[in-house]
Amino acid sequence: MTDLKRAIAELAKGGSLTLSSVADGFDAFCTADLTRALAKDAESRAVVLVHVARDGQRARAFGEALRFAAPDIELLDFPSWDCQPYDRVSPDAAISARRILVLSRLARSRTSLERPRILSTTVNALLQRVAPLATIANDTFSAAPGNVVAMDSLIGWLETNGFARASSVRDTGEYAVRGGILDLFAPAWRSRCGSISLRHRSNRSALSIPKRSARPVSTARLILCR
């Protein structure tokens, strides 16, 4: 029996596994092999394995190595807060968005045999409290091209779920209302150019996603920002 088979058998029994003398960077290759071997039995779970790094720097190094060693594996990176609880400075909006996005993926989807999933986090992030699973799973807003939703309801949802109103949208978690146009930058979008604009229909106090745009979308799904 090979070392990998012995490791899988031990994990299947609920035992623990210790890998020693692993060179820096090679832990990603070991984790990738274990993930592929365990993917079939983990299809009912959100992730196959959870990798806990000592700090953010080591977590980033692991992520880079894993993307090189196993591009077929989906990596969810869950960072820790960049400030202390009750600090005078608010958490960085981009970090908050990344945390919420990962929690939303974990709450609403599962890993698969074709594309197994790993959650990468740090000791600090593992110890910090998060919102309840039901809150993450249910507090979403979805709309498709041609749908009509109340402008006031959407603005109220944005305010309740951590979006900040601004005169001009530049950063993650911001939205702006300019006449009949609502422009926003949601956590799931990687850049400002990924934002969408929602416009009023004539003579109606509602808005719709334009069917034609520079970057057509089939569905706009918003998750809480903080």
How far is CA 116 from each of CA 52, 77, 78, rounded to the nearest angstrom?
Answer: 17, 14, 17
pLDDT tens-digit readout, 93-124: 778 878 888 888 888 888 888 899 999 999 99
What backbone phi and psi angles, to 5 degrees, belong to 211? -75, -20
Rounded to 5 degrees, what angle do the CA atoms 179, 184, 185 make? 160
| C-alpha to C-alpha distance for 45 and 119, rounded to whole angstroms | 12
Q: What is the pLDDT of residue 211?
A: 44
Q: What is the pLDDT of residue 212?
A: 43
Dmax of the chain from CA atoms? 73
pLDDT tens-digit readout, 137-159: 777 776 666 667 777 878 888 88
DSSP 62-90: HHHHHHHH-TTSEEEEEPPPSS-TT-SSP
**Residue 202: pLDDT band by 50, 70, 90 thresholds?**
very low
pLDDT tens-digit readout, 49-83: 999 999 999 999 999 999 999 999 999 999 998 88
pLDDT tens-digit readout, 13-40: 777 888 888 888 888 998 998 899 888 8
pLDDT tens-digit readout, 172-201: 778 888 776 778 777 655 544 444 555 555
Residue 75 tokens, joined: 């990596």
Once rounded to an integer, what is the mean pLDDT over residues 190-215?
47
Residue 140 tokens, joined: 């979403």
Q: What is the pLDDT of residue 197?
A: 54
